[in-house]
Amino acid sequence: MKVFENHVAVVTGAASGIGRALAERFAAAKMRIVLADIEQAALEETLRAMREAGATVAPFVGDVSHASEVERLADLAYSEFGAVHILCNNAGVAGGGGAAWEQSLETWQWILGVNLWGVIHGIHAFVPRMLASGEEGHVVNTASAAGLRTGPFLSPYYASKHAVVALSESLHFDLQLAGAKVHTSVLCPAFVKTRIAESGRNQSTAAAPGQFPEGMRQRVEAGTPPELIAERVWEAVRDNQFWILTHPEFEYLIRDRVEGMLQRRNPVPHVFTVPQNTNNPE
C-alpha cells in the first residue's frame, strides 16, 4: 500500500503492547483506527490518549476467539468508517508452562482460541468485504519467532503460532491466485516488551493458565520496544513484504531448524538463550 491518509485500519489486541504501537503508528500516518481489545479499562485509556493526540479512533470490546464478536467488530468498522484497508489480527496470549502432556485442555482451547481462531475469525469476517470493495488492502497476522522454531514448555503457544504462519502463507497464495488487491504479511517477532507474560489475566475459563517460564518472562521484560516492531510492520505494509522478521539475532535458530530437517537430525532445544555473536552461535 502506498496511500494511508484517511484510510482505515482495524487492530485487535490494540490496548497494549504491539497492538497499541500499531494503532499509534497507523494514526501517525493519518489513518482512522478501530481499536479492538478484550480489556475495557485498558482500551478506554488507549482511546483517550490517542484522541488527545488527535487520532480518529473507534473502540470495540470483544473476544476474538468468538466468531460472532469478530463479525460484530467488522460490522462496527464498516458502519463507523465505511471501509477497512488494513486488518491486523494481532491479539495473542501465552501461558501453560509445562510439558505437552501436562497442559490442560482448557489451556489448549484458550491459547488456540485467541492465537489461531482469532486470526481465522478475522480473515473470515473481513477479507470478503475487503475484496468486494475493489480497493487496495493488507492483512497482517501476528505470529511469532515461535512460529518458525519450537522448544519445550509452551507447546500450545508454539502450535498456535506455527499454524498462523501456515495460514498466512496459504492466504498469501489464495489472494495472489485471485488477482486480489489485498495482500498479506506475517509478523514473527521474538522477545518484545509487552504484557504477554500476564496473559492469564484475560483467560475466560476457570482453569489457571499455568506458570509462564521465568527465563522467558525475563526476556520479555527486557525485550524490544513495541514501537520498533510497529515501524517494521508499517514498512512491510508499505512495501508489500510478506515476512516481517524483526529480530535478526534469532535467525540462526530458524536456519538451524530447517537444516536439521533436511539432514534428518533430531531436534535439539534452545532454551531461552541467544548468543552474543550470532555469526558463530554456541
Catalytic residues: 157
Phi, psi of 45 (to 5 degrees): -65, -45
Amino acid at 256: D
3-state secondary structure 194-226: CCHHHHHHHCCCCCCCCCCCHHHHHHHHCCECH
For residue 37, which of 105, 102, 93, 100 has the smallest C-alpha distance? 93
Q: How far apart are CA 56 and CA 50, in angstroms?
A: 8
Rounded (to 5) percent helix, strand, coil in the chain: 50, 15, 35
Helix or strand or coil: residue 10?
strand
On the CB side of 260, CA atoms within 13 Å amount to: 13
Order the strands of the 137-142 sheet from edge to edge: 56-61, 32-37, 8-12, 86-89, 137-142, 182-188, 243-245
Residue 113 grid cell: 482460541
